[in-house]
Chains A and B, each alone.
Chain A
Amino acid sequence: MNRIEADRARFREIVRGRIRADLGRYLSTTELIARQGEHAVSVPVPQIELPRFEFAASEDDGVGQGPAARGERSAESGDGRPGEGAAGEVPGQHAIEVEVELEELAEMLGRELGLPRIEPRGKRNLEAEGARYSGLRSRGPDSLRHARRSFDAALRRTIASGQWDPKNPRVVPERDDLRFRAGKPAPRPQSSAVVFHMMDVSGSMGREQKEIVRIEAFWIDTWLRSQYRNLEVVYIVHDAVAKIVDHDTFFHLRESGGTRISSAYELCLQQIRERFPNDDWNVYPFHYSDGDNWSARDTERCVELLKQDLLPRVNQFCYGQVRSAYGSGQFKKDLDLALGTDPRVVTANVSDRGEVMGAIRAFLGSGR
């Protein structure tokens, strides 16, 4: 199929911007989505979408099938989205979905986005004593005797001393031949991290916005899990008050009323103080909202909290601003203005699903 390779090469040239610059503005990153256990998995693929007359994506997208709609609670309500990879104009073009291992996914993500491995903070976090029996010595208790290496040594001695008789291949170990396993101190990276996913669930965050947060959160967890042995995830939702919820509630809860972001930061701080002391934990708070806050006064309070209490305790603080029809997007501007120069603070705009991967690269690209 050399023809298709030629067409693919041309497409890639266009994506790189070398030819047909007129198409650049239609370039976006779409995702392939499949299911991984109960999670959705997305793979970024560049795509050029020529304009056509088409319907606007609406909040209510029509007829569904199943025991429960999104938003309705039931055993099956959840994260599945069908794989849309192989939509085509040919009817009998059938595709089925296959599951992927989580570790493999993290690896692919890292490769795809060029993510650096994380350097954990502080020396005491880096080294944790552990012993592995990876050495050998010639004295030791019988229980640690290494039979194969002992025999090996005896065989060498037998051959070297000319006592080897192929017709009667007998090897008799002597005391000096014996080898014993020995423990070696093995410094291992300390590997506990906690992720806080904080989300604004006030009325203005719609289903699509939450879907974006869900995809984002899934990938962040997947990556961090591959970098730390032990990853705790804490979900915090807030409108005017904040509370801790479980995974499922996090993505389906819809509250109404105002938005006081500082409530979430306070709760996060309290959690860090009580449950995740800095000596033992790498801390990653992520916050997602559409950028509306109750008042400028509260935004000041947030900046204050970040500066004084949160930032000194965390590896990195990330804020993802999801565009919604109602959000003003002011909060990101305020954060950038107050803390934009601080390397521990990363903010990103995510207007649609196509930008999720870009935001992840921004969040995880520093290797902090």
Chain B
Amino acid sequence: MSKARANLSSALTPELRVWSERIEQVARESGLDFFPLDFRLLDASDVNAVAAYGGFPVRYASWRFGMDYERLDKAHAWGLSRIYELVINTDPVIAYLVRSNLQGEQKLVMAHVCGHADFFKHNAWFAGTDRGMLDTMVRHAERVERCTERLGRERVESFLDIVLCLDNLIDPYQALRARLRRGEPQSLFPTSSLRTFDVLAYVSEHAPLEDWERELAEIVLAEARYFAPQRMTRIMNEGWASFWHSRILTGGVLSAAEIVDFAETHSGATATAPGRINPYKLGIELWRHAEARGEDLFRLRSLHNDASFVEELVDAEFVARAQLFLQPRPRRSGGSDAADRDPGRVKARLCAELAWGGVPRIELVDVGGARELRLLHHHDGRDLNVPRALETVSRVQSLWRAPVTLETRVQGSGRLLACDGAATEVRELPSPSVSERAG
């Protein structure tokens, strides 16, 4: 849905337009700063479709988006959940509102969007993201389409599916590293070292791929890079948007009757099931905590990602007030399973879970003589799902077209997951292994 094709019927109603302007104004007066907002009204089923495409209805065709749509659509049809808002990190910021939202909800969503838009523009991790992603996605879709016409759907899709299995093998700190590197003397970062967390980038550049394959791999890489900061800042970003929507709305934007809709929707979105983390709730509580401590909120939102934000802000008082705990390990011997509420341990675990966007840290350490690609899993106490990791290794192999190994630990002892194209296997490693040396 590029600008030219934008549907007239997706325009806001005159009344909503008035409110959007008023809310935007209140938001800017409160200190939020964002690219222009482009609100669009859609029916619920269309919003499900847009959500299935990751926010970009112009994205290339794939069964995976059909699968996500099936799930969202079913959830909606069964009345289990409904999406009422969707906002895209572009310039201008595109935000979809669902036509069936109550008026109070529309105001909430618009205020919430202002928070996200400010976050997108100012958070350091989003600095390198492609704000023209809508057009980029259109180009990607055209390239995939051209390949499909030439080579057949089956072939293109199968290849894309292989690359997609590696789309979390990117370095979320890549943009930051590149910026640091620019300021430093060259010698501090010897280019001779292969070591990189940007495995997908390395493989798509150096594997003996055909041109069309490389092109598709680059598309997957670009889209993965675009979405990565969102994974790394989910708690902060949702918290920031919720923090500001409360402030903007309760500051005179809502009518008395709408306060009830607001309370309902707000509490629905920030409710926690016992024993789970809800990013909206934890996020808003962290921001309120920061405010109570007298921190500079705008500075915090510029600098941090979820892990560093938690590192900076969580203290004993917060753990107690937010009632955070570590899930008890089930004990075979029985007895009471008391949750661990020790602030230090809770914080350490929370940071570990949030670091690296919640995916395993996997580094390319070396390419051996026979082009053997060696990957290392930086074990942080959580084991990999070994059967699926083994499958993934064989996917990497089928791209790299030479043997691939992954070193990891399972229940404390070293394992090497290997694939040479013909067979995959798991070998025991003598300890101490490379992981210890790698640090």
State which residues 99-149 of B face A: CB under 8 Å: 109, 112-113, 116
CB contact between A47 and one of B53, B71, B75, B395 (< 8 Å): that residue: B71
For the complex, give the distance between the alpha carbons of A252 and B241 in Å: 37
For residue A348, give the distance in angstroms from its CB to the closest CB of chain B: 23
A63 at the binding interface (Cβ < 8 Å)? yes
Q: Decide: B327 and A70 in contact? CB cutoff 8 A.
A: yes
B182 at the binding interface (Cβ < 8 Å)? no
CB contact between A86 and one of B51, B54, B395 (< 8 Å): that residue: B51
State which residues 267-295 of B face A: CB under 8 Å: 268-269, 271-278, 281-282
Q: Decide: A52 and B51 in contact? CB cutoff 8 A.
A: no
Q: Decide: A65 and B382 in contact? CB cutoff 8 A.
A: no
For the complex, give the distance between the alpha carbons of A60 and B237 in Å: 27
Q: Decide: A55 and B383 in contact? CB cutoff 8 A.
A: yes
For residue B273, give the distance in angstroms from its CB to the closest CB of chain A: 4
A1 at the binding interface (Cβ < 8 Å)? yes
Most chain A CB atoms below 10 A, which of B65, B231, B333: B65
B377 at the binding interface (Cβ < 8 Å)? yes
For residue A11, give the distance in angstroms from its CB to the closest CB of chain B: 4
Q: Decide: A70 and B275 in contact? CB cutoff 8 A.
A: yes
Given contacts A7-B61, A78-B274, contact A85 B81 (CB under 8 A): yes
Q: Can you name the residue of chain A whose Cβ is closest to the Cβ of B108?
A: A94
For the complex, give the distance between the alpha carbons of A204 and B332 in Å: 7
Residues of the B chain whose Cβ atoms lie less than 8 Å from the Cβ of A23: 161
Q: Decide: B70 and A91 in contact? CB cutoff 8 A.
A: no
For residue B335, give the distance in angstroms from its CB to the closest CB of chain A: 8
Residues of the A chain whose Cβ atoms lie less than 8 Å from the Cβ of B359: 53-54
Is chain A's binding surface mostly helix, strand, loop or mixed?
loop
Q: What count of chain A residues pass the 8 Å CB interface test?
A: 81
Q: Can you name the residue of chain A whose Cβ is closest to the Cβ of B242?
A: A94
B85 at the binding interface (Cβ < 8 Å)? yes
Given contacts A1-B49, A55-B384, A93-B85, contact A63 B63 (CB under 8 A): no
Task: Type the 1/0 row for B221-243, where 1 means its CB is closer than 8 Å to any CB of A.
Answer: 00000010011011001100100
A172 at the binding interface (Cβ < 8 Å)? no
A241 at the binding interface (Cβ < 8 Å)? no
For residue A77, give the distance in angstroms from its CB to the closest CB of chain B: 6
A131 at the binding interface (Cβ < 8 Å)? no
Q: Decide: A88 and B353 in contact? CB cutoff 8 A.
A: no
For the complex, give the distance between the alpha carbons of A80 and B272 in Å: 9
For residue B268, give the distance in angstroms from its CB to the closest CB of chain A: 4
Q: Can you name the residue of chain B whose Cβ is closest to the Cβ of A57?
A: B385
Q: Total A-B residue pairs with C-beta atoms closer than 8 Å?
A: 299
Q: Decide: A7 and B65 in contact? CB cutoff 8 A.
A: yes
Q: Can you name the residue of chain B whose Cβ is closest to the Cβ of A98?
A: B79
A8 at the binding interface (Cβ < 8 Å)? yes
Q: Decide: B349 and A93 in contact? CB cutoff 8 A.
A: no
Given contacts A1-B57, A32-B80, A62-B326, contact A72 B339 (CB under 8 A): yes
Given contacts A10-B63, A64-B327, A90-B86, contact A54 B79 (CB under 8 A): no
Residues of the A chain whose Cβ atoms lie less than 8 Å from the Cβ of B157: 20
For the complex, give the distance between the alpha carbons of A44 and B72 in Å: 12
Q: Can you name the residue of chain B whose Cβ is closest to the Cβ of A60?
A: B329
Q: Decide: A41 and B334 in contact? CB cutoff 8 A.
A: no
A128 at the binding interface (Cβ < 8 Å)? no
B34 at the binding interface (Cβ < 8 Å)? no
Q: Decide: A9 and B80 in contact? CB cutoff 8 A.
A: no
For residue A240, give the distance in angstroms from its CB to the closest CB of chain B: 13
B194 at the binding interface (Cβ < 8 Å)? no
Q: Can you name the residue of chain A whose Cβ is closest to the Cβ of B338?
A: A72
Given contacts A92-B113, A96-B268, contact A108 B274 (CB under 8 A): no
Residues of the B chain whose Cβ atoms lie less than 8 Å from the Cβ of A368: none
State which residues 25-74 of B face A: CB under 8 Å: 45-46, 49, 51-55, 57, 61-74
For the complex, give the distance between the alpha carbons of A368 and B49 in Å: 41
Residues of the B chain whose Cβ atoms lie less than 8 Å from the Cβ of A10: 61, 63, 66
Segment among B8-16, B386-394, B425-433 that sits at the interface with chain A: B386-394
A206 at the binding interface (Cβ < 8 Å)? yes
CB contact between B332 and one of A12, A32, A97, A203 (< 8 Å): that residue: A203
Residues of the B chain whose Cβ atoms lie less than 8 Å from the Cβ of A78: 274
Residues of the A chain whose Cβ atoms lie less than 8 Å from the Cβ of B214: none
Q: List 12 A-B contacts (CB under 8 A).
A: A7-B64, A20-B158, A46-B67, A56-B385, A63-B350, A65-B324, A66-B273, A81-B273, A85-B71, A86-B75, A90-B86, A92-B112
Question: Which residues of A are at the interface with B, using a C-beta cutoff of 8 A?
Answer: 1, 3-4, 6-12, 14, 19-20, 22-23, 30, 32-35, 41, 43, 45-48, 50-72, 76-78, 80-83, 85-86, 88-100, 108, 203-204, 206-207, 254-257, 326
Question: Which residues of B are at the interface with A, using a C-beta cutoff of 8 A?
Answer: 45-46, 49, 51-55, 57, 61-75, 78-88, 95, 109, 112-113, 116, 154, 157-158, 161, 164-169, 227, 230-231, 233-234, 237-238, 241, 265, 268-269, 271-278, 281-282, 322-330, 332-334, 336-339, 346, 349-350, 353, 359-360, 362, 377, 382-386, 388-389, 391-392, 395, 406
